Chain A
Protein backbone atom coordinates (compact mmCIF):
# COMPACT_ATOMS: atom_id res chain seq x y z
CA UNK A 1 0.00 0.00 0.00
CA UNK A 2 3.03 2.28 -0.24
CA UNK A 3 2.07 5.52 -1.93
CA UNK A 4 -1.65 4.80 -1.59
CA UNK A 5 -2.43 8.03 0.28
CA UNK A 6 -1.35 10.02 -2.74
CA UNK A 7 -3.33 8.21 -5.41
CA UNK A 8 -5.80 10.42 -7.20
CA UNK A 9 -9.47 9.64 -7.76
CA UNK A 10 -8.99 8.55 -11.36
CA UNK A 11 -6.03 6.29 -10.47
CA UNK A 12 -8.10 4.61 -7.74
CA UNK A 13 -11.13 4.23 -10.00
CA UNK A 14 -9.04 2.73 -12.82
CA UNK A 15 -7.28 0.28 -10.48
CA UNK A 16 -10.65 -0.75 -9.02
CA UNK A 17 -12.08 -1.18 -12.51
CA UNK A 18 -9.16 -3.41 -13.55
CA UNK A 19 -9.49 -5.45 -10.37
CA UNK A 20 -5.99 -4.55 -9.17
CA UNK A 21 -7.31 -3.35 -5.82
CA UNK A 22 -10.63 -3.81 -4.09
CA UNK A 23 -12.74 -0.90 -2.85
CA UNK A 24 -12.43 -2.41 0.62
CA UNK A 25 -8.62 -2.30 0.48
CA UNK A 26 -8.77 1.32 -0.65
CA UNK A 27 -11.21 2.27 2.10
CA UNK A 28 -9.29 0.40 4.80
CA UNK A 29 -5.96 2.01 3.87
CA UNK A 30 -7.45 5.50 3.88
CA UNK A 31 -9.36 4.91 7.11
CA UNK A 32 -6.11 3.84 8.72
CA UNK A 33 -4.56 7.13 7.67
CA UNK A 34 -7.55 9.13 8.92
CA UNK A 35 -7.27 7.41 12.29
CA UNK A 36 -3.48 7.58 12.58
CA UNK A 37 -3.34 11.30 11.70
CA UNK A 38 -6.49 12.13 13.66
CA UNK A 39 -4.91 13.20 16.96
CA UNK A 40 -2.30 15.39 15.21
CA UNK A 41 -4.50 17.19 12.71
CA UNK A 42 -8.05 17.02 14.19
CA UNK A 43 -9.33 17.24 10.61
CA UNK A 44 -12.17 14.74 11.01
CA UNK A 45 -14.91 15.04 13.65
CA UNK A 46 -16.75 11.77 12.97
CA UNK A 47 -15.06 8.77 11.33
CA UNK A 48 -17.61 6.61 9.48
CA UNK A 49 -15.54 3.40 9.47
CA UNK A 50 -18.45 0.91 9.35
CA UNK A 51 -20.37 2.87 6.73
CA UNK A 52 -17.22 3.23 4.60
CA UNK A 53 -16.31 -0.44 4.70
CA UNK A 54 -19.95 -1.41 4.07
CA UNK A 55 -20.21 0.84 1.00
CA UNK A 56 -16.83 -0.37 -0.29
CA UNK A 57 -17.89 -4.01 0.01
CA UNK A 58 -21.11 -3.27 -1.86
CA UNK A 59 -19.14 -1.86 -4.79
CA UNK A 60 -16.79 -4.84 -4.70
CA UNK A 61 -19.82 -7.13 -4.82
CA UNK A 62 -21.28 -5.17 -7.73
CA UNK A 63 -18.02 -5.56 -9.60
CA UNK A 64 -17.92 -9.28 -8.83
CA UNK A 65 -21.41 -9.59 -10.35
CA UNK A 66 -20.09 -7.96 -13.52
CA UNK A 67 -22.03 -4.71 -13.12
CA UNK A 68 -20.79 -1.46 -14.61
CA UNK A 69 -19.29 0.67 -11.86
CA UNK A 70 -20.10 4.41 -11.57
CA UNK A 71 -17.38 7.03 -12.16
CA UNK A 72 -16.14 7.32 -8.56
CA UNK A 73 -16.71 3.75 -7.36
CA UNK A 74 -14.55 3.09 -4.32
CA UNK A 75 -13.01 6.58 -4.19
CA UNK A 76 -12.74 7.82 -0.57
CA UNK A 77 -14.17 11.22 0.30
CA UNK A 78 -14.43 13.52 3.31
CA UNK A 79 -17.54 15.69 3.64
CA UNK A 80 -17.55 18.98 5.52
CA UNK A 81 -19.65 18.67 8.64
CA UNK A 82 -22.18 21.31 7.56
CA UNK A 83 -23.55 19.03 4.80
CA UNK A 84 -26.32 16.75 6.01
CA UNK A 85 -25.58 13.04 5.94
CA UNK A 86 -28.53 10.79 6.71
CA UNK A 87 -27.91 8.83 9.90
CA UNK A 88 -24.45 10.37 10.48
CA UNK A 89 -24.24 13.25 12.94
CA UNK A 90 -23.77 16.67 11.41
CA UNK A 91 -22.44 19.16 13.94
CA UNK A 92 -21.52 22.29 11.94
CA UNK A 93 -18.63 22.49 14.40
CA UNK A 94 -21.10 23.74 17.00
CA UNK A 95 -22.19 22.65 20.47
CA UNK A 96 -25.75 23.49 19.47
CA UNK A 97 -25.75 20.60 16.95
CA UNK A 98 -23.29 18.32 18.76
CA UNK A 99 -25.73 15.39 18.72
CA UNK A 100 -27.80 16.28 15.64
CA UNK A 101 -28.36 13.36 13.25
CA UNK A 102 -30.07 14.48 10.02
CA UNK A 103 -32.89 12.38 8.56
CA UNK A 104 -31.84 13.18 4.97
CA UNK A 105 -28.81 13.62 2.72
CA UNK A 106 -27.59 16.87 1.18
CA UNK A 107 -27.97 16.64 -2.60
CA UNK A 108 -24.21 17.09 -3.18
CA UNK A 109 -23.42 14.12 -0.91
CA UNK A 110 -26.32 12.01 -2.23
CA UNK A 111 -25.01 12.48 -5.78
CA UNK A 112 -21.48 11.64 -4.73
CA UNK A 113 -22.69 8.47 -3.03
CA UNK A 114 -24.59 7.49 -6.19
CA UNK A 115 -21.39 8.10 -8.16
CA UNK A 116 -19.70 5.48 -5.96
CA UNK A 117 -17.72 7.65 -3.54
CA UNK A 118 -17.10 6.17 -0.09
CA UNK A 119 -17.60 8.47 2.92
CA UNK A 120 -14.69 8.22 5.39
CA UNK A 121 -15.94 10.86 7.77
CA UNK A 122 -17.17 14.37 8.45
CA UNK A 123 -14.57 17.10 8.24
CA UNK A 124 -13.94 19.71 10.93
CA UNK A 125 -14.80 23.35 10.19
CA UNK A 126 -15.19 26.77 11.75
CA UNK A 127 -18.52 26.83 13.59
CA UNK A 128 -21.32 27.23 11.01
CA UNK A 129 -18.58 27.90 8.41
CA UNK A 130 -17.77 31.27 10.01
CA UNK A 131 -14.03 31.75 10.08
CA UNK A 132 -10.79 31.80 8.15
CA UNK A 133 -8.55 29.65 10.36
CA UNK A 134 -10.64 26.72 11.66
CA UNK A 135 -9.97 28.03 15.17
CA UNK A 136 -13.71 28.67 15.66
CA UNK A 137 -14.68 24.98 15.79
CA UNK A 138 -16.28 24.00 19.10
CA UNK A 139 -14.36 20.74 18.77
CA UNK A 140 -10.89 22.22 18.57
CA UNK A 141 -8.72 23.68 15.82
CA UNK A 142 -7.32 21.81 12.81
CA UNK A 143 -3.54 21.80 12.30
CA UNK A 144 -1.96 22.63 8.95
CA UNK A 145 -0.32 19.44 7.57
CA UNK A 146 2.71 21.45 6.36
CA UNK A 147 3.38 23.02 9.76
CA UNK A 148 1.39 21.97 12.79
CA UNK A 149 1.93 25.33 14.51
CA UNK A 150 -0.04 27.07 11.76
CA UNK A 151 -3.71 27.21 10.78
CA UNK A 152 -5.07 25.31 7.76
CA UNK A 153 -7.33 28.24 6.83
CA UNK A 154 -11.08 28.10 7.02
CA UNK A 155 -13.77 27.50 7.18
CA UNK A 156 -13.30 24.19 5.29
CA UNK A 157 -10.04 23.58 7.18
CA UNK A 158 -10.69 19.91 7.91
CA UNK A 159 -11.55 19.17 4.29
CA UNK A 160 -8.41 20.90 3.00
CA UNK A 161 -6.07 19.44 5.64
CA UNK A 162 -7.56 15.98 5.07
CA UNK A 163 -6.92 16.09 1.33
CA UNK A 164 -3.46 17.65 1.71
CA UNK A 165 -2.38 15.01 4.24
CA UNK A 166 -3.47 12.06 2.08
CA UNK A 167 -6.51 11.02 4.10
CA UNK A 168 -8.68 11.18 0.97
CA UNK A 169 -8.17 12.37 -2.61
CA UNK A 170 -11.52 14.20 -2.56
CA UNK A 171 -13.40 16.36 -0.08
CA UNK A 172 -16.48 18.53 -0.14
CA UNK A 173 -16.29 21.97 1.39
CA UNK A 174 -18.55 25.00 1.29
CA UNK A 175 -17.58 28.50 0.27
CA UNK A 176 -19.43 31.67 1.30
CA UNK A 177 -16.62 34.24 1.16
CA UNK A 178 -13.62 32.01 0.45
CA UNK A 179 -14.10 28.99 2.71
CA UNK A 180 -13.07 26.45 0.05
CA UNK A 181 -10.41 28.49 -1.75
CA UNK A 182 -8.51 29.99 1.19
CA UNK A 183 -7.94 26.70 3.10
CA UNK A 184 -7.09 24.98 -0.20
CA UNK A 185 -4.43 27.66 -0.77
CA UNK A 186 -3.04 27.44 2.78
CA UNK A 187 -2.85 23.62 2.61
CA UNK A 188 -1.50 23.31 -0.95
CA UNK A 189 -4.71 21.81 -2.38
CA UNK A 190 -6.97 22.65 -5.32
CA UNK A 191 -10.28 24.25 -4.33
CA UNK A 192 -13.19 25.47 -6.43
CA UNK A 193 -16.06 27.75 -5.54
CA UNK A 194 -18.49 26.95 -8.36
CA UNK A 195 -20.74 29.54 -9.98
CA UNK A 196 -23.64 30.41 -7.65
CA UNK A 197 -26.36 28.04 -8.89
CA UNK A 198 -24.03 25.35 -10.28
CA UNK A 199 -24.38 23.01 -7.26
CA UNK A 200 -27.49 22.42 -5.17
CA UNK A 201 -27.45 23.87 -1.65
CA UNK A 202 -30.13 21.42 -0.46
CA UNK A 203 -28.90 19.95 2.80
CA UNK A 204 -26.08 22.47 3.21
CA UNK A 205 -26.78 24.09 6.57
CA UNK A 206 -27.39 27.70 5.55
CA UNK A 207 -25.00 30.50 6.58
CA UNK A 208 -25.61 33.22 3.94
CA UNK A 209 -28.00 31.94 1.30
CA UNK A 210 -27.14 34.45 -1.43
CA UNK A 211 -23.46 33.50 -1.22
CA UNK A 212 -23.13 29.85 -0.09
CA UNK A 213 -21.92 27.23 -2.59
CA UNK A 214 -20.74 23.65 -2.10
CA UNK A 215 -17.28 23.20 -3.62
CA UNK A 216 -14.74 20.44 -4.33
CA UNK A 217 -11.29 20.23 -2.68
CA UNK A 218 -8.75 17.86 -4.25
CA UNK A 219 -5.01 17.44 -4.85
CA UNK A 220 -5.23 17.81 -8.65
CA UNK A 221 -7.25 19.91 -11.06
CA UNK A 222 -8.34 16.76 -12.92
CA UNK A 223 -9.88 15.28 -9.76
CA UNK A 224 -11.53 18.61 -9.00
CA UNK A 225 -13.34 18.54 -12.35
CA UNK A 226 -14.44 14.93 -11.74
CA UNK A 227 -15.85 15.89 -8.36
CA UNK A 228 -17.67 18.95 -9.75
CA UNK A 229 -19.15 16.75 -12.48
CA UNK A 230 -20.51 14.36 -9.84
CA UNK A 231 -22.20 17.00 -7.66
CA UNK A 232 -23.42 19.66 -10.14
CA UNK A 233 -26.66 20.04 -12.09
CA UNK A 234 -30.27 21.05 -11.58
CA UNK A 235 -32.04 20.02 -8.38
CA UNK A 236 -35.79 20.35 -7.87
CA UNK A 237 -35.12 20.68 -4.13
CA UNK A 238 -33.14 23.93 -4.45
CA UNK A 239 -34.93 26.80 -6.20
CA UNK A 240 -31.61 28.70 -6.57
CA UNK A 241 -29.90 25.82 -8.39
CA UNK A 242 -29.80 26.55 -12.12
CA UNK A 243 -31.68 24.38 -14.62
CA UNK A 244 -28.48 23.19 -16.26
CA UNK A 245 -26.91 19.81 -17.01
CA UNK A 246 -24.02 18.65 -14.79
CA UNK A 247 -20.55 20.00 -15.61
CA UNK A 248 -18.76 17.88 -18.23
CA UNK A 249 -15.13 17.33 -17.10
CA UNK A 250 -13.99 16.99 -20.73
CA UNK A 251 -14.75 20.70 -21.15
CA UNK A 252 -11.83 21.55 -18.89
CA UNK A 253 -9.18 19.64 -20.83
CA UNK A 254 -8.05 22.20 -23.43
CA UNK A 255 -4.76 24.11 -23.40
CA UNK A 256 -4.31 27.81 -22.68
CA UNK A 257 -3.31 29.02 -26.15
CA UNK A 258 -5.13 32.25 -26.88
CA UNK A 259 -6.53 32.56 -23.34
CA UNK A 260 -6.54 36.18 -22.17
CA UNK A 261 -5.42 36.34 -18.53
CA UNK A 262 -6.01 39.52 -16.52
CA UNK A 263 -3.66 40.06 -13.57
CA UNK A 264 -5.65 41.53 -10.69
CA UNK A 265 -3.77 44.63 -9.72
CA UNK A 266 -5.57 45.40 -6.44
CA UNK A 267 -5.09 41.91 -5.06
CA UNK A 268 -1.43 41.65 -6.03
CA UNK A 269 -0.81 44.99 -4.33
CA UNK A 270 -2.53 43.74 -1.15
CA UNK A 271 -0.52 40.55 -0.60
CA UNK A 272 2.86 39.56 0.82
CA UNK A 273 5.82 39.86 -1.56
CA UNK A 274 6.49 36.11 -1.52
CA UNK A 275 2.86 35.40 -2.42
CA UNK A 276 2.91 37.97 -5.24
CA UNK A 277 6.14 36.47 -6.62
CA UNK A 278 4.58 32.99 -6.79
CA UNK A 279 1.47 34.30 -8.52
CA UNK A 280 3.59 36.19 -11.06
CA UNK A 281 5.57 32.99 -11.79
CA UNK A 282 2.25 31.29 -12.39
CA UNK A 283 1.27 34.10 -14.79
CA UNK A 284 4.54 33.67 -16.71
CA UNK A 285 3.89 29.93 -16.98
CA UNK A 286 0.49 30.67 -18.52
CA UNK A 287 2.12 33.10 -20.93
CA UNK A 288 4.71 30.49 -21.93
CA UNK A 289 1.79 28.13 -22.64
CA UNK A 290 0.34 30.58 -25.15
CA UNK A 291 -1.92 32.75 -23.00
CA UNK A 292 -1.71 36.53 -23.18
CA UNK A 293 -1.27 38.65 -20.05
CA UNK A 294 -2.72 42.05 -19.27
CA UNK A 295 -3.45 44.03 -16.13
CA UNK A 296 -7.03 43.89 -14.83
CA UNK A 297 -8.73 45.98 -12.18
CA UNK A 298 -11.65 45.69 -9.77
CA UNK A 299 -12.03 49.37 -8.82
CA UNK A 300 -14.33 48.69 -5.84
CA UNK A 301 -12.23 45.84 -4.42
CA UNK A 302 -11.45 48.00 -1.40
CA UNK A 303 -15.15 48.02 -0.45
CA UNK A 304 -15.85 44.34 -1.00
CA UNK A 305 -14.87 43.21 2.51
CA UNK A 306 -17.25 45.59 4.29
CA UNK A 307 -20.01 44.87 1.80
CA UNK A 308 -19.60 41.15 2.33
CA UNK A 309 -19.54 41.18 6.12
CA UNK A 310 -22.69 43.31 6.31
CA UNK A 311 -24.63 41.10 3.90
CA UNK A 312 -23.31 37.72 5.07
CA UNK A 313 -23.90 38.53 8.74
CA UNK A 314 -27.38 39.88 8.02
CA UNK A 315 -28.28 36.65 6.24
CA UNK A 316 -26.64 34.59 8.99
CA UNK A 317 -28.63 36.33 11.73
CA UNK A 318 -31.80 35.34 9.89
CA UNK A 319 -30.73 31.79 8.95
CA UNK A 320 -29.46 30.92 12.43
CA UNK A 321 -32.74 31.98 14.04
CA UNK A 322 -33.87 28.37 13.48
CA UNK A 323 -31.52 27.16 16.22
CA UNK A 324 -33.83 27.90 19.11
CA UNK A 325 -33.79 24.86 21.38
CA UNK A 326 -37.16 23.74 20.03
CA UNK A 327 -36.70 22.14 16.62
CA UNK A 328 -33.08 20.94 16.50
CA UNK A 329 -30.22 19.97 18.72
CA UNK A 330 -29.38 21.42 22.10
CA UNK A 331 -31.99 22.77 24.52
CA UNK A 332 -31.08 24.65 27.68
CA UNK A 333 -34.17 25.23 29.81
CA UNK A 334 -34.75 28.90 30.55
CA UNK A 335 -38.10 28.98 32.34
CA UNK A 336 -40.37 30.08 29.51
CA UNK A 337 -40.05 30.01 25.73
CA UNK A 338 -38.14 33.30 25.36
CA UNK A 339 -35.83 32.33 28.22
CA UNK A 340 -35.18 28.95 26.60
CA UNK A 341 -34.31 30.59 23.29
CA UNK A 342 -31.78 32.85 25.00
CA UNK A 343 -30.30 30.21 27.27
CA UNK A 344 -29.95 27.66 24.45
CA UNK A 345 -28.38 30.05 21.96
CA UNK A 346 -26.09 31.71 24.51
CA UNK A 347 -24.63 28.36 25.57
CA UNK A 348 -24.82 26.62 22.18
CA UNK A 349 -23.11 29.22 19.96
CA UNK A 350 -19.43 30.17 20.17
CA UNK A 351 -18.05 33.74 20.22
CA UNK A 352 -17.64 34.24 16.45
CA UNK A 353 -21.17 33.05 15.69
CA UNK A 354 -22.57 35.33 18.40
CA UNK A 355 -20.53 38.23 17.02
CA UNK A 356 -21.94 37.71 13.54
CA UNK A 357 -25.54 37.20 14.68
CA UNK A 358 -25.34 40.42 16.71
CA UNK A 359 -23.77 42.32 13.83
CA UNK A 360 -26.35 40.96 11.39
CA UNK A 361 -29.18 41.83 13.75
CA UNK A 362 -27.77 45.35 14.13
CA UNK A 363 -27.51 46.09 10.39
CA UNK A 364 -31.06 44.84 9.82
CA UNK A 365 -32.62 46.69 12.75
CA UNK A 366 -34.87 49.74 12.45
CA UNK A 367 -32.81 52.88 12.02
CA UNK A 368 -29.71 51.09 10.68
CA UNK A 369 -31.12 49.04 7.81
CA UNK A 370 -30.69 51.78 5.22
CA UNK A 371 -27.34 52.97 6.51
CA UNK A 372 -25.78 49.50 6.45
CA UNK A 373 -27.78 46.73 4.79
CA UNK A 374 -29.30 48.64 1.89
CA UNK A 375 -26.02 50.49 1.21
CA UNK A 376 -24.20 47.16 1.17
CA UNK A 377 -26.70 45.69 -1.29
CA UNK A 378 -26.05 48.66 -3.59
CA UNK A 379 -22.29 48.40 -3.08
CA UNK A 380 -22.62 44.73 -4.05
CA UNK A 381 -23.98 45.88 -7.42
CA UNK A 382 -20.85 48.02 -7.93
CA UNK A 383 -18.55 45.14 -6.94
CA UNK A 384 -20.37 42.86 -9.36
CA UNK A 385 -20.21 45.43 -12.18
CA UNK A 386 -16.42 45.64 -11.71
CA UNK A 387 -16.23 42.16 -13.20
CA UNK A 388 -18.07 43.26 -16.37
CA UNK A 389 -15.19 45.65 -16.98
CA UNK A 390 -12.51 43.12 -16.06
CA UNK A 391 -13.99 40.39 -18.26
CA UNK A 392 -14.31 42.73 -21.24
CA UNK A 393 -10.55 42.43 -21.72
CA UNK A 394 -9.84 39.05 -20.09
CA UNK A 395 -11.21 35.52 -20.20
CA UNK A 396 -9.97 34.70 -16.71
CA UNK A 397 -8.61 36.84 -13.88
CA UNK A 398 -5.54 35.81 -11.88
CA UNK A 399 -4.36 36.91 -8.46
CA UNK A 400 -3.47 35.53 -5.03
CA UNK A 401 -6.07 33.43 -3.19
CA UNK A 402 -4.92 34.68 0.20
CA UNK A 403 -2.79 37.74 0.98
CA UNK A 404 -0.48 35.56 3.12
CA UNK A 405 0.55 31.93 3.50
CA UNK A 406 -0.70 30.00 6.56
CA UNK A 407 -0.40 32.13 9.71
CA UNK A 408 0.45 30.87 13.23
CA UNK A 409 -2.31 29.43 15.41
CA UNK A 410 -3.64 32.18 17.67
CA UNK A 411 -2.19 35.06 15.65
CA UNK A 412 -5.56 36.66 14.79
CA UNK A 413 -8.09 35.23 17.25
CA UNK A 414 -8.27 38.41 19.33
CA UNK A 415 -8.69 40.71 16.35
CA UNK A 416 -11.75 39.79 14.25
CA UNK A 417 -11.06 42.51 11.68
CA UNK A 418 -7.55 41.18 11.03
CA UNK A 419 -9.06 37.71 10.59
CA UNK A 420 -11.69 39.04 8.17
CA UNK A 421 -8.92 40.57 6.03
CA UNK A 422 -7.76 37.00 5.23
CA UNK A 423 -10.74 36.86 2.86
CA UNK A 424 -9.98 40.09 0.99
CA UNK A 425 -9.03 38.34 -2.27
CA UNK A 426 -11.76 35.70 -2.31
CA UNK A 427 -14.76 37.87 -1.42
CA UNK A 428 -15.24 39.82 -4.68
CA UNK A 429 -15.98 36.67 -6.75
CA UNK A 430 -18.38 35.52 -4.01
CA UNK A 431 -20.33 38.79 -4.12
CA UNK A 432 -20.73 38.45 -7.89
CA UNK A 433 -21.50 34.72 -7.84
CA UNK A 434 -18.53 34.02 -10.13
CA UNK A 435 -16.68 30.69 -10.19
CA UNK A 436 -13.16 30.82 -8.75
CA UNK A 437 -10.42 28.20 -8.43
CA UNK A 438 -7.43 28.14 -6.12
CA UNK A 439 -4.44 26.17 -7.45
CA UNK A 440 -1.06 25.68 -5.76
CA UNK A 441 1.50 27.99 -7.37
CA UNK A 442 4.55 27.86 -5.12
CA UNK A 443 6.01 27.82 -1.63
CA UNK A 444 7.30 30.49 0.70
CA UNK A 445 10.87 30.40 1.99
CA UNK A 446 9.51 28.73 5.13
CA UNK A 447 8.06 25.90 3.04
CA UNK A 448 4.40 26.95 3.22
CA UNK A 449 2.14 26.52 0.18
CA UNK A 450 0.89 29.51 -1.82
CA UNK A 451 -2.29 29.46 -3.90
CA UNK A 452 -3.20 31.39 -7.03
CA UNK A 453 -6.83 32.28 -7.62
CA UNK A 454 -8.41 32.19 -11.08
CA UNK A 455 -11.85 33.77 -11.61
CA UNK A 456 -14.05 33.26 -14.70
CA UNK A 457 -17.44 34.49 -15.95
CA UNK A 458 -20.56 32.67 -14.71
CA UNK A 459 -20.63 28.97 -15.62
CA UNK A 460 -17.15 29.03 -17.19
CA UNK A 461 -15.50 26.59 -14.78
CA UNK A 462 -14.05 25.00 -17.96
CA UNK A 463 -11.74 28.02 -18.38
CA UNK A 464 -10.61 27.77 -14.74
CA UNK A 465 -9.75 24.10 -15.14
CA UNK A 466 -7.86 24.70 -18.41
CA UNK A 467 -5.75 27.41 -16.83
CA UNK A 468 -5.42 25.52 -13.54
CA UNK A 469 -4.25 22.32 -15.22
CA UNK A 470 -1.60 24.24 -17.11
CA UNK A 471 -0.40 25.95 -13.91
CA UNK A 472 -0.13 22.76 -11.86
CA UNK A 473 1.83 21.02 -14.63
CA UNK A 474 4.10 23.96 -15.33
CA UNK A 475 4.80 24.62 -11.65
CA UNK A 476 5.54 20.92 -10.99
CA UNK A 477 3.93 20.86 -7.54
CA UNK A 478 1.50 17.95 -7.90
CA UNK A 479 3.85 15.39 -6.36
CA UNK A 480 5.01 17.57 -3.48
CA UNK A 481 3.41 16.49 -0.21
CA UNK A 482 3.86 17.46 3.44
CA UNK A 483 6.77 15.70 5.09
CA UNK A 484 6.89 14.20 8.54
CA UNK A 485 3.33 12.85 8.54
CA UNK A 486 4.42 9.25 8.09
Chain B
Protein backbone atom coordinates (compact mmCIF):
# COMPACT_ATOMS: atom_id res chain seq x y z
CA UNK B 1 0.00 0.00 0.00
CA UNK B 2 2.82 2.39 0.90
CA UNK B 3 5.98 1.39 -0.98
CA UNK B 4 9.36 3.04 -0.55
CA UNK B 5 8.87 5.33 -3.53
CA UNK B 6 5.46 6.55 -2.36
CA UNK B 7 6.82 7.01 1.12
CA UNK B 8 9.69 9.09 -0.27
CA UNK B 9 7.17 11.34 -2.03
CA UNK B 10 5.18 11.63 1.19
CA UNK B 11 8.29 12.76 3.09
CA UNK B 12 8.89 15.39 0.45
CA UNK B 13 5.31 16.69 0.74
CA UNK B 14 5.68 16.83 4.53
CA UNK B 15 9.09 18.55 4.30
CA UNK B 16 10.78 15.72 6.21
CA UNK B 17 13.82 13.66 5.23
CA UNK B 18 14.24 10.49 7.26
CA UNK B 19 17.20 8.15 7.27
CA UNK B 20 16.63 4.63 5.95
CA UNK B 21 16.13 2.96 9.32
CA UNK B 22 13.70 5.59 10.63
CA UNK B 23 11.85 5.62 7.31
CA UNK B 24 11.38 1.84 7.27
CA UNK B 25 10.03 1.82 10.83
CA UNK B 26 7.63 4.72 10.26
CA UNK B 27 6.46 3.28 6.93
CA UNK B 28 5.58 -0.04 8.57
CA UNK B 29 3.78 1.69 11.44
CA UNK B 30 1.89 3.98 9.06
CA UNK B 31 0.71 1.01 7.03
CA UNK B 32 -0.71 -0.63 10.15
CA UNK B 33 -2.42 2.56 11.27
CA UNK B 34 -3.87 3.26 7.81
CA UNK B 35 -5.14 -0.32 7.64
CA UNK B 36 -6.91 0.21 10.97
CA UNK B 37 -8.41 3.46 9.67
CA UNK B 38 -10.00 1.70 6.72
CA UNK B 39 -12.55 0.42 9.24
CA UNK B 40 -14.44 3.61 8.39
CA UNK B 41 -15.25 1.91 5.04
CA UNK B 42 -17.80 -0.17 6.98
CA UNK B 43 -19.93 2.95 7.57
CA UNK B 44 -22.77 3.96 5.26
CA UNK B 45 -22.01 7.66 4.83
CA UNK B 46 -24.38 8.32 1.94
CA UNK B 47 -26.01 11.71 2.48
CA UNK B 48 -24.13 12.38 5.73
CA UNK B 49 -22.71 15.93 5.74
CA UNK B 50 -19.05 16.40 6.70
CA UNK B 51 -18.41 18.05 10.08
CA UNK B 52 -15.64 20.64 10.05
CA UNK B 53 -15.89 22.04 13.58
CA UNK B 54 -17.96 21.55 16.73
CA UNK B 55 -18.76 25.20 17.57
CA UNK B 56 -22.43 25.69 18.50
CA UNK B 57 -22.57 29.17 20.07
CA UNK B 58 -22.23 32.48 18.22
CA UNK B 59 -18.65 33.49 17.47
CA UNK B 60 -18.92 37.03 16.08
CA UNK B 61 -15.83 38.63 14.58
CA UNK B 62 -14.34 41.60 16.41
CA UNK B 63 -14.75 45.10 14.93
CA UNK B 64 -12.14 45.76 12.25
CA UNK B 65 -10.37 48.50 14.19
CA UNK B 66 -6.63 48.96 14.73
CA UNK B 67 -5.36 48.17 18.23
CA UNK B 68 -1.89 47.91 19.76
CA UNK B 69 -0.07 44.67 18.97
CA UNK B 70 3.48 43.37 18.91
CA UNK B 71 6.33 45.68 18.01
CA UNK B 72 8.23 44.83 14.85
CA UNK B 73 11.20 43.64 16.89
CA UNK B 74 8.96 41.40 19.04
CA UNK B 75 7.25 39.99 15.96
CA UNK B 76 10.44 38.89 14.25
CA UNK B 77 12.47 38.23 17.43
CA UNK B 78 11.67 34.52 17.47
CA UNK B 79 13.17 33.95 14.02
CA UNK B 80 16.55 32.18 14.06
CA UNK B 81 17.98 34.78 11.63
CA UNK B 82 16.69 38.35 11.86
CA UNK B 83 18.14 41.79 11.52
CA UNK B 84 16.70 45.29 11.44
CA UNK B 85 13.14 44.01 11.61
CA UNK B 86 13.66 41.61 8.71
CA UNK B 87 13.70 37.80 8.70
CA UNK B 88 16.66 36.14 7.00
CA UNK B 89 15.58 33.41 4.56
CA UNK B 90 17.94 30.83 3.02
CA UNK B 91 18.34 31.16 -0.73
CA UNK B 92 15.42 29.73 -2.66
CA UNK B 93 17.29 28.76 -5.82
CA UNK B 94 20.63 26.98 -5.81
CA UNK B 95 23.52 29.31 -6.63
CA UNK B 96 21.50 32.42 -5.76
CA UNK B 97 23.17 34.69 -3.18
CA UNK B 98 21.25 34.92 0.08
- CB neighbours of B42 from chain A (8 A): 303
Which of these, B56, B60, B91, contacts A458 with CB under 8 Å? Answer: B56
**Are B17's CB and A417's CB within 8 A?**
no
Give bound CA distance, A362 to B14, whole Å: 9
* Known pairs A197-B57, A379-B45; A345 contacts B15 (CB<8 A): yes
A380 near B: Cβ within 8 Å? yes
Taking the complex as formed, is A485 at the interface, i.e. its CB lies under 8 A from any CB of chain B? no
A329, B78: Cβ atoms closer than 8 Å = yes
Contact check, B94 vs A336: say whether CB atoms are below 8 A apart.
Answer: yes
Interface string of A312-352 (1 = CB under 8 A from B): 00000100010011111111011111111111011001010
Taking the complex as formed, is B90 at the interface, i.e. its CB lies under 8 A from any CB of chain A? yes
Q: Are A337 and B53 in contact (CB under 8 A)?
A: no
Q: Which 6 A-B pairs have the closest CB atoms?
A: A433-B54, A377-B50, A242-B57, A331-B80, A103-B74, A236-B62
Residues from chain B with a CB closer than 8 A to the CB of A326 are 79-81, 87, 89-90
| B80 adjacent to A330 (CB under 8 Å) | yes
Q: Does A391 contact B (CB under 8 A)?
A: no
Nearest to A241 among chain B residues (CB) is B59
Would you give the shortest CB distance from B37 to chain A, in whole angstroms? 5
CB-defined contacts of A210 to chain B, threshold 8 Å = 52-54
- Is there contact, CB below 8 Å, between B16 and A342? yes
Stretch at the interface among A139-147, A219-227, A266-274, A353-361: A353-361
What 0/1 pattern do residues 5 to 38 of B give for CB contact below 8 A with A? 0000011011111100010001001101110110
A355-B26 in contact given A244-B57, A361-B10 (Cβ < 8 Å): yes
Known: A103-B77, A306-B36. A358 touches B50 (CB 8 A): no
Offer 5 A-B interface pairs, CB within 8 angstroms, sorted by A.
Answer: A240-B55, A309-B33, A334-B90, A342-B17, A345-B14
Complex: chain B residue closest to A340, CB-CB: B90
Minimum Cβ distance to chain A for residue B84 (Å): 16
- CB atoms of A197 and B16 under 8 A apart: no
Q: Which of B2, B70, B80, B90 contacts A336 (CB 8 A)?
A: B90
B interface footprint on A354-392 (CB within 8 Å = 1, 0 otherwise): 110111011101000000101111111110100000000
Considering the complex, give the chain B residue whose CB is closest to the CB of A372. Answer: B37
| A307 interfacial contact with B, CB 8 Å | yes
Q: Is the CB of B10 within 8 A of A358?
A: yes
Q: Which of A417-454 contact B (CB under 8 A)?
A: 417, 420, 431-434
Flag if A417 contacts B48 (CB, 8 Å).
no
Taking a contact as CB atoms under 8 Å apart, the answer to whether B29 and A342 are in contact is no
Chain A residue at minimal CB-CB distance from B35? A417
A-contact 0/1 string along B55-98, CB 8 Å cutoff: 11111111000000010001101111100000101111110000
**Chain B hits for A236, CB < 8 A:** 62
In the bound complex, what is the Cα–Cα distance between A47 and B75 (angstroms)? 25
Tell me the smallest distance from the CB of A373 to a CB of chain B, in Å. 9
Bound-state CA distance A417–B54 (Å) is: 25
Is there contact, CB below 8 Å, between A365 and B37? no
